[in-house]
Amino acid sequence: MTVTILDVIRTKRDGGRLSDEQLDWFIDAYTSGEVADEQASALLMAILWRGMEPAELAHWTAAMLASGDRLTLGELGRPTVDKHSTGGVGDKVSLILCPLVAACGVAVPQLSGRGLGHTGGTLDKMESIPGWRADLSPDEMRQVLRETGCVIAAAGSGLVPADRKMYALRDVTGTVASIPLIASSIMSKKIAEGTDALVLDVKVGRGAFLPDRDQAQDLARTMVGLGEAHGVRTAALLTAMDTPLGYAAGNALEVTEAVATLAGGGPPDLVEVTIALAEVMVELAGVQADPGAVLARGGAMDSWRSMVRAQGGDPDAQLPVATEHETVVADSSGFVSGLDARAVGEAVWRLGAGRARKEDPVSPTAGIVCRAKPGDRVVAGQSILELHADSPDRFAPALDALAGAVTISTTRPPAQPMVYERI
């Protein structure tokens, strides 16, 4: 039977299940340029509205995987496990988690991305370290893994090219917010990197990509199912993202906080989420280790320094510092009862730490330091947020984004869990 793009679009438009033959044909034809962007857009919109059955989505993901190369990591001599976060504000967990899990005896091949909109990107943060390099060949990645046990790098152009092309199209056609498309995009790249196991950090709350918990659960279950269907041991944690994670949001600021955490300090919420993810990672890798104890004694610092050095960076270099500062103060005395993560993320973006388009440059120094978090007592006039920028012109739009972001009440709010559930 001859497959045509109109048949594929009509099948999904009318709520049908695309056959394996149709799925294989479309992914191959779109990647090669045989299918036009407007035709692919029509199919993506149909998928957004109609969804995909589990078996259909599994084959769609397999077809995306088949569009490019796959890394092989079997010669490393130790189990491999990766982690993926759906993105948040102040989420520098990967910077701590990779060397921590490596210090526990597991190899961590972390393929990461850049920030877009109100959420930060791991590569942007790491690139604030002088000399550090994200673009590594597969052989270079394997070499860093052999030397240090962990690597944080950009996905190469040969890895799932179908997703790279399709994501750019989704970004400009309003079809990003589809759980099947999100899940297949994430999981095709993670499966392609050749890891034995994968832990997903699915954020829930105001600063998350999917604020609704039911939607976050649906995405987590979908991704876990895809991982297991492709032979990757997979688990997901739903974690809180109503408030920025840790105190710092912004590239160099987050690196500084991550290093402090690796040294045995760090904010309690950041430590809690990092340890929870690390424990699942070493469990799936089949390794007996206590990540909490390793982190508390600074046992992952050597892995961090080795990884940074192996990728061309200087772990002892002075990180860039902003030249301009502004503060947001408490307008009354009491307890901080709310700190809107999305508003903080939006302000960090306006300060220059984020980008509106993938090709935009970012400032390594811009960001926000939270001087008080929910549960903290403050007095009127006390600094709650410290804004960092390279130009004073950045402050007015950032302050507009922060209007109403801080809530102060007369009673201390109850403590909220950082980890909601495991899927």
Q: What is the pLDDT of residues 238-255, one digit of tens each?
A: 999 999 999 999 999 999
pLDDT band at 413 (very low <50, low <70, confident <90, very high): very high
pLDDT band at 358 (very low <50, low <70, confident <90, very high): low
* Tokens standing for residue 32: 């090669």
Q: Could you report the per-residue pLDDT of 301-357, keeping only the tens digit for each?
A: 999 999 999 999 999 999 999 999 999 999 999 999 999 999 999 999 999 998 777
Q: φ, ψ for residue 165 (rounded to 5)?
A: -70, -40
Q: Which residues are catalytic?
A: 84, 163, 170, 185, 189
Residue 27 has pLDDT above 70, yes or no: yes
pLDDT band at 53 (very low <50, low <70, confident <90, very high): very high
pLDDT at 1: 66
pLDDT band at 117 (very low <50, low <70, confident <90, very high): low
CATH no. for 5-51: 1.20.970.10
Strand partners, 329: 383
Q: Residue written as tokens 């479309």?
A: 26
CATH no. for 74-310: 3.40.1030.10
Measured CA to CA, the distance from residue 414 to residue 101 in angstroms comes to 32
Going from N- to C-terminal start, the domains of the chain cover: 5-51, 74-310, 324-409
Measured CA to CA, the distance from residue 262 to residue 54 in angstroms comes to 40
pLDDT at 116: 65
pLDDT band at 361 (very low <50, low <70, confident <90, very high): confident
Q: Could you report the per-residue pLDDT of 62-106, keeping only the tens digit for each?
A: 999 999 998 888 788 899 999 999 989 999 999 999 999 999 999
pLDDT at 132: 98
Residue 262 has pLDDT above 80, yes or no: yes
Q: Which pTM was predicted?
A: 0.94
Q: Could you report the per-residue pLDDT of 366-380, keeping only the tens digit for each?
A: 999 999 999 999 999
What is the arithmetic mean of pLDDT over 197-221?
95
3-class secondary structure per residue, the chain:
CCCCHHHHHHHHHCCCCCCHHHHHHHHHHHHHCCCCHHHHHHHHHHHHHHCCCHHHHHHHHHHHHCCCCCCCCHHHCCCEEEEEECCCCCCCHHHHHHHHHHHCCCEEEEEECCCECCECCHHHHHCCCCCCCCCCCHHHHHHHHHHHCEEEEECCCCCCHHHHHHHHHHHHHCCCCCHHHHHHHHHHHHHHCCCCEEEEEEEECCCCCCCCHHHHHHHHHHHHHHHHHCCCEEEEEEEECCCCCCCEECHHHHHHHHHHHHCCCCCHHHHHHHHHHHHHHHHHHCCCCCHHHHHHCCCCHHHHHHHHHHCCCCCCCCCCCCCEEEEEECCCCEEEEEECHHHHHHHHHHHHHCCCCCCCCCCCCCEEEECCCCCCEECCCCEEEEEEECCHHHHHHHHHHCCCCEEEECCCCCCCCCEEEEC
What does each C-alpha distance from 234 to 91, 92, 143 come to in angstroms? 21, 21, 25
Strand partners, 200: 84, 236
Average pLDDT score, the chain: 94
What is the arithmetic mean of pLDDT over 225-249?
96
Picking from 98, 188, 104, 83, the residue whose alpha carbon sits closest to that of residue 144 is 98
Q: Burial code of 234-257, b = ≥16 C-beta within 10 A, e = fewer?
A: bbbbbbbbbbbbbbbbbbbbbbbb
Picking from 164, 121, 159, the residue whose alpha carbon sits closest to that of residue 360 is 121
> What contacts 330, CB < 8 A, 6 or more positions away?
336, 372, 378, 379, 380, 381, 382, 384, 406, 408
- Please give the span between the terminal C-alpha atoms of the chain, in angstroms, as a whole number: 40
pLDDT at 366: 97
The domains spanning 5-51 and 324-409 adopt the same CATH topology:
no
Picking from 272, 197, 269, 179, the residue whose alpha carbon sits closest to that of residue 236 is 197
Measured at the CA of 145, the angle between CA 141 and CA 150, to 5 degrees, comes to 105
pLDDT at 103: 98
HSE, CB side, 13 Å, CA atoms: give it for residue 21: 6
CATH no. for 324-409: 3.90.1170.30
